[in-house]
Amino acid sequence: MRALDQRPGKRTSDRSDQTPHRLRPSGGYRSLRSFRVATLIYDGTVAFCERFLDPHSRTVDQMVQAARSGRQNIAEGSRASAASSQTELRFVNVARASLDELLLDYEDFLRQRGLRQWGKEDREAQEVRAVGHGISNPTDRSDRTDLTDRAAYARWLAHPDPAVVANTLICLIHQANYLLDRQIAGLEQCFIAEGGYTERLAAARIAVRAQQNQSDRPDPTDRSDLKAQAPNCPLCGKPLVVRTAKKGAHAGSQFWGCSAYPACHGTRAIH
């Protein structure tokens, strides 16, 4: 997983134009809204655990791992999409399940301490959702987008009240789950309509072979090899040559005509 966070060096970018075309695109996960929200959740969870939970608690490890799994599996699924849509679906579903597990941890935190959990229509929850609606997809894949996202939610994620931070992260998890549900539905529809990688690879191979077979077929209008097959005139015995009828019912069609024409009018049909 460490390789996912390595930024491409100059050598990689210089070779980008040489990358062959793929049947299915892969990567590009940094521009996915689901990945960006999952990154906020992961970073926010690490900070939440450091500020408000016992660092020796097993719950801390579970929450951090669940948050990390949500983010990393979105990236892993995107990277695997070129090879298998089924593998991509599996990774995205794992990300969804991990965030559901984390959601329960935050709900448990509030319930066990008698703290209020925001309702969907509460003003605070609506304010957090409004920030998400206002953030557009980035035009680059740099780490600056992560900084921009964190700054947008800083007033809640850096709040001294743990209830505010926990509720904010719950709102973000609901956003991420909504985005992942749409992503999963889109992947399922794509798989139904276009098939998996193996099916598409086989279809592409069949298309290439059909094109090759078509180009290997002889042109029925090509008579260049007839000279070597020229028979002799049935009247005078001299070689026949290919001629084209200029008039009459067979105008435009080819036939064997005597090479001694007009002295000899011998002809023969071309079969």
- List pLDDT tens digits, range 155-214: 999 999 999 999 999 999 999 999 999 999 988 887 777 666 565 666 667 777 777 776
Please give the single-letter amino acid code of residue 250.
H
Give pLDDT, residue 16. Answer: 37
CA proximity to 45, closest of 124, 127, 101: 101
Pick 138 or 31 by higher pLDDT. Answer: 31
Pick 258 or 228 by higher pLDDT. Answer: 258
- List pLDDT tens digits, range 203-228: 667 777 777 776 655 555 555 555 55
118: buried, middle or exposed (CB in 10 Å: 19+, 13-18, 0-12)? buried
Question: pLDDT band at 83, cuts 50/70/90?
Answer: low
Q: By percentage, how much of the chain surpasses pLDDT 70?
A: 74
Residue range 72-99: average pLDDT?
87
Give pLDDT, residue 219. Answer: 55
Give pLDDT, residue 71. Answer: 96
pTM over 0.85: no
CA dihedral 168→171→175→181, nearest 10 degrees, is 140
Instruction: Answer yes or no: is pLDDT of 23 > 70.
Output: no
Report domain extents, the chain.
Answer: 22-209, 227-269
Residue range 225-241: average pLDDT?
77
Instruction: Answer yes or no: is pLDDT of 90 > 60.
Output: yes
Give pLDDT, residue 88. Answer: 85
Question: pLDDT band at 79, cuts 50/70/90?
Answer: confident
Instruction: Answer yes or no: is pLDDT of 123 > 90.
Output: yes
Mean pLDDT of the chain: 80
Least-confidence region, from 116-120, 130-134, 156-160, 239-243: 130-134
Please give the single-letter amino acid code of residue 181.
D
CA distances from 106 to 154, 160, 231 (A): 18, 16, 94
The rounded distance, in Å, linking the Cα atoms of 196 and 44 is: 36
